[in-house]
Amino acid sequence: MDRLDNTIRPYAWGSTTAIPALLGVEPSGEPQAEMWMGAHPGAPSRTARGTLVEVVDADPERELGAAAVAKFGPRLPFLLKILAAGAPLSLQVHPNLQQAKEGYEDEERRGIPVDAPHRNYKDANHKPELICALTEFDGLCGFRDPLRAAELLAGLGVDSLKPYVDLLHAHPEDAALREVLTAILTADPEEMQHTVAAAATACTRLGGAYAPYADIAHHYPGDPGVIAAMLLNHVRLQPGEALFLGAGIPHAYLNGLGVEIMANSDNVLRCGLTPKHVDVPELLRIVRFEASDPGVLRPEASPEGEEVYDTPIDEFRLSRYVLPEGGALHDLTRDTPQILLCTAGTVRADGQELLPGQSVFVPAGEKAEVSGAGTIFRATVIV
């Protein structure tokens, strides 16, 4: 197995303390948002054999296994991250596989450079993802029932929100949600700034269920995404709980430290809470306008001690082992590629000691035995 040297991305929304605390190092004072583990070309993990991209490219079947290559092609299908949100991320959705292919081909045909700020589709892949909390973790996930969203907006007592409240009482549900989100994102910018400012003041005064939106407005004053965020379910994960974000589900992470895994893609369509490009027509094509429960996931334990986060995706499979001192040796050998990540205690993986934040890549079929006293996350694929 290959010990990984991973890149930390310094996005502005990142916590300045959470990742350093996990790694046991002094904070630099700069935001540290995400640590990437995998073979994404934007920041591939480094090994003694070269970058993980180079390792996989040199012999895909040896590193990934014949079955994974046959199903997903000659690349690692997932990207694993430690994510540390110190401020809200952009409100966003991801396309399904067909939408991603169509969008990518269309932008390629129109000659839009991949690095253009108004480009939506960086690749032709979908981007389902799973976030598992290491600390208390706040997020937004999926639309509220329209009537509950109307009640929340009405409770602010802001006159300029009344048209949205009235729209949310319309039928059918999907049309009501579509009309309100469209109205919010296409409103006159100056008028929307006044609306958001009044809503933010009310959220701060009222607190309680409004407190998350007061914090969002503090970070993104005047952004229409503040009002759009109030259409969504607020959820607070406890350590070990997770959220699965499928195609078309609007979401945003607000605060906390977690392990995130996703299909290896960069495709994001933003709804707000960002200075970046918001393509309203394309966004409205991708969003699933239906009320839904956030669906908090708790791991399902096997007799062997593996706790699996069950998702409907084959590109990744995330599980964890909580290893007690003096516990049994666990054989994790598998005919698919794996990344093992320690998040607590000290774990030994085939003689290599892993401390919190340290990880290894295990090629398909290579022996992987773990022991120790700590927590280890296991990322692989389903073939």
Residue 237's nearest CA partner among 259, 218, 217 is 259
Helix (H) or strand (E) holding 174: helix 173-185
Is residue 144 flagged as an active site residue? no
Helix (H) or strand (E) holding 248: none
DSSP state of 209: G
How many helices (H) and strands (E) are present in the chain, helices listed first?
12, 21
CA angle 275, 125, 271 (to 5 degrees): 25
The answer to whether residues 142 and 291 touch, using CB atoms and an 8 Å cutoff, is yes
**Separation CA 21–CA 356 (nearest Å):** 9
Enter the tokens of residue 137. 């973790």
Give DSSP secondary structure letters for 180-203: HHHHHHTS-HHHHHHHHHHHHHHH
Q: CB 107: neighbour CB atoms within 10 A?
A: 19
Residue type, 311: T
Q: Please report how many Cα atoms fall inside a 13 Å half-sphere around the Cα of residue 317, on the Cβ side.
A: 14
**Separation CA 57–CA 59 (nearest Å):** 6
DSSP state of 336: S
The answer to whether residues 124 and 247 touch, using CB atoms and an 8 Å cutoff, is no
Phi, psi of 280 (to 5 degrees): -60, -50
Catalytic residue of the set 119, 270, 320, 378:
270
Residues serving a catalytic function are 270
